[in-house]
Structure 1
Amino acid sequence: MSVRYGMISVASITDRFMHAVLENGDVITAVASRSLTKAKQKADQYGIKRAYSSYEDVYRDNDVDIVYIAVNNANHSREVKRALQHGKHVLCEKPIALCAEDAEELFTYARKQGLFLMEAQKSLFLPVTQVVRTHIQKQTLGRLHQIEMSASFPNPTAAWMHDPAQGGVVYGSASYTIEYLDYLLAPKQIHTSPMGTKEAGGACDRISMNFLFDDILVNSRISMNGPTQHHAIFYFEKGYIHVPDYWKAREYTLVKGKDHQRFTFPCLYEMKYEAAHVRECLKNGWQESPIMPANRSIRCCSIVDNIMQQLEQVNREEGR
C-alpha cells in the first residue's frame, strides 16, 4: 500500500522528508506554500502534480491520505487541527505544540476523529538508536549510569527561530534530547535543571540541561551561537558508546577498554525509517504510533514548559 502525502510548507526540512517518502515507494500528491511560485518550484523539482497556494486546498484534496506539516512552530497546533477537521491523518514536525495543554488537546481531537496523529521525531526510528537501546536493556556493557550530549545549529536564518515565543534552542531542539532519551530509557521519573542564555531579541540561544532519568545522570548542551561537538556518549560500567550526530546517526563506536569497534548504517535519507513506520501505522489502522505515542509528545511538552519556567525564574531573579 502506497501512502499519498500532502506537504504543508516548502521549508528546507521538507526536502529531506520528500526524498525519504519517495525512496520508500510512497507518493507525494500535493504541495502547498503561501507562495504559489515556491509551491510550483517544489512540485516541478519532485514531479508533484498539484501545487497550491493554500494549505486548505491540500486538506480538501481527496487524493491525499496524510499531511506532513512543517510550518513554523507557532502554527503547528493550528494546522494540525485544521488537517484533522478535514479528515486527514497527520505527521507534524517537532514540536507538535508549544505547551502540553495544546498537545493533549490535539491528540484528544485526533482520537475523536478516528485519525492518526504523530509528532515527527526521526531519531527514534534510526537503526543506531535501536542498537543503543538493546545495549541499554541487555546491559551488555553493564549498567548505564551517565549520558553526555552536545549539539549546535549555528546562526539560523529563519526569522521565527529568533522569536522567543516559538524559537530558540529549547522550543526548536530540546525535544531531540527529551524524546530520544524517553524512548531509550523509559524512565518513571524525569528531573530537570537547566541553565541558559538569551540573545538580544530574547530567544534562548544556548542551553545546558541537567536531567535525572530515574538514576541516570544526563547533561545535554545545545547552542545556536556557533559550532560544537555533535554527539551522544553513553557511559556504562564496563565501557561506553559514542554516537556522532545522534539525531540523524548513521554510525556508532563501542569502546571497551582498549578495544574500539565502529559500526556503520549508511543511508541517503535518514527520515526514511520514520516514513516507513508511518506507513506501517496507517496500514494497520493505528491512531497512534507505538514508538512515538501521544504520551511521549505530551510529556516532552510538559518538560519544555518546565524548562522555560525555570529559565524565566532565573532571569527575573537576576533582573534580565
Structure 2
Amino acid sequence: MPAAISDDRPVRWGVLGAGSIAGTVCSDLRLTSGNVVTAVAARDADRAAAFAAEHGAARSYGSYEDLVTDDEVDVVYVATTHPNHHRQALLAIEAGKSVLVEKPVCLHAAQAREVFDAARAADVFAMEAMWTRANPLVRKAQQLAADGTIGEVRHVRASFGIGVPFDPTSRLYDLANGGGALLDLGVYPITIASLFVGLPDRATWSGTLSPTGSDETVAVQWTAAGRPTAQLMFSAAVVMSNDTVIGGTEGFLRLESPGHRPSGLTVSVGGEERRIEDPLAGHGAGYTPQVEEVERCLRAGLLESPLVPHADTVAIQELMDEGLAALGVVYPQDR
C-alpha cells in the first residue's frame, strides 16, 4: 500500500496538458478545500506558463518529463488526447507518481491493462477520469435502483449526440487524434448502462463513418441471457436528447440531460413523479466529486478507487474495442 497523504496538507496536483478540459477541471479543483494545482506542463512552455498563472500553479514546464519528476507533485492529471494517455501515464507512473487519466484511459484495453498493471507494480494510485461515476445524482440513482424503488431493473436507454459539423481537423473526426463518437462520447452511456444492468453477453453494433474513417454515429443494443438490456446511441454529427432512462418493472429513473453529468433526477413510480435537484448546481462544472474522490483515495493510501475500479475501466475498453472492430475503425497507431 502506498504511503497515505496526511490531512494536514493539501494534495498537490501536476497537470499534464493545458487544453480546455484541463482548465475546466483545474477551476473545479480550486473549489475544493484539500487540493491545489502545483505545476503544469505543455509542449509549448509559454502556454504552460499562461495556464499556471491562470490557475495559481507555482511552476510551469515545457517538458512533461520535468513535471513528472517534480518532487512537490503528488498526483499527475493526464489531460491530453486519448492516443497520448498510455505513454504519458506510464511516464508519470515510472517517476513514482499517482495518476488521474482522462477518459478513455487509453485507445485500447491492452494499453489500459498495462497502465494499471504498472501502477500496481509501482505502488501508486491510478484512476480513469470518469467523473460520471462520482456524480451525486448518478450515485443516488444507483442507490434507488439497488433499494428496489423501481422494481427489478431491466433496461437502460441512453444517448449522447452533440451535432458537430464534419471537419477533418476537429478532434472528433481526426483519427490520428483518437477521433470518433464511440471513445469520446459513447464511453459515457456505456459506463452508465453498465452501472445499472452490467455489461452484455452480446452487443450488436451499427453505425456510419465520417470521410476520415472515424465513427460518426453509432448505435448498440445489448442483450443478456437473450433479453435486451440496453439501447445506446451516440453521435458526433447529430444532436440527441442526451438523457438516460433506467427502466424497472415498477417504474423508471431518468437522468436529465446531459446524462453523464445530470441536471436533475426524475423518479417515476406508479404514475407519480418526483424530481431530485442537482446538488452541484452553481458549484463549478461538476468535477469536484471526482477530484475529492482522488483526494480521499490518496489520503487512505489506496491503489484504486472503489467508485472507478480498474477492472471496470478495462472491461468497458474491451467492449469499445469490439465496437471499433465491428464498425471498421482503424487508428493510424494500429496500422
- TM > 0.5: yes
Question: Is the contact made by 1:183 and 1:291 (CA closer than 8 Å) also made in structure 2?
Answer: no
Q: Greater shift after overlay, 137-146 or 276-285?
A: 137-146
Q: Does 1:180 align with 2:192?
A: yes
In the alignment, the residues of structure 1 paired with residue 138 and residue 251 of structure 2 have an alpha-carbon distance, to the nearest angstrom, of 18
Q: Tell me by how many angstroms 1:52 deviates.
A: 1.2
Which residue is equivalent to 2:309? Answer: 293
Which residue is equivalent to 1:317? Answer: none
Q: Tell me by how many angstroms 1:129 deviates.
A: 1.0
From the superposition, tell whether residues 196 and 43 of structure 1 become closer, same or farther in structure 2 (CA, over 3 Å): same
3-state SS of paired residue (1:179): helix
Q: Tell me by how many angstroms 1:148 deviates.
A: 1.0
From the superposition, tell whether residues 22 and 171 of structure 1 become closer, same or farther in structure 2 (CA, over 3 Å): same
In the alignment, the residues of structure 1 paired with residue 246 and residue 324 of structure 2 have an alpha-carbon distance, to the nearest angstrom, of 26
Counterparts of 1:1-320 in structure 2, within 5 Å, are: 1=7, 2-25=10-33, 26-155=35-164, 159-164=170-175, 166-186=178-198, 189-212=200-223, 215=227, 217-244=229-256, 245-267=258-280, 268=283, 269-312=285-328
In the alignment, the residues of structure 2 paired with residue 70 and residue 191 of structure 1 have an alpha-carbon distance, to the nearest angstrom, of 32
Q: Tell me by how many angstroms 1:111 deviates.
A: 0.8
In the alignment, the residues of structure 2 paired with residue 301 and residue 90 of structure 1 have an alpha-carbon distance, to the nearest angstrom, of 18
Count of matched residue positions in the alignment of Structure 1 and Structure 2: 312
- In proportion to residue count, which structure has more helix? 1
Q: Greater shift after overlay, 298-307 or 47-56?
A: 47-56
Identity %: 25
3-state SS of paired residue (1:98): coil
Q: Which runs of 5+ in 1 are unaligned?
A: 314-320
Q: Tell me by how many angstroms 1:58 deviates.
A: 0.8
What CA deviation, in whole Å up to 9, does each residue of 1:63-96 have, x standing for no partner?
Answer: 1000100111111000000001111100000111
RMSD over aligned Cα atoms: 1.8
Question: Is the contact made by 1:147 and 1:216 (CA closer than 8 Å) also made in structure 2?
Answer: no
3-state SS of paired residue (2:84): helix
Q: Tell me by how many angstroms 1:211 deviates.
A: 1.3
Letter in 1 for 2:328: E
In the alignment, the residues of structure 1 paired with residue 224 and residue 135 of structure 2 have an alpha-carbon distance, to the nearest angstrom, of 21
What CA deviation, in whole Å up to 9, does each residue of 1:237-262 have, x standing for no partner?
Answer: 22211111111113111123442211
Q: Which runs of 5+ in 2 are unaligned?
A: 1-6, 330-335
Q: Greater shift after overlay, 151-160 or 83-92?
A: 151-160
TM-score normalised to structure 1 length: 0.92
Q: Tell me by how many angstroms 1:174 deviates.
A: 2.3
3-state SS of paired residue (1:115): coil
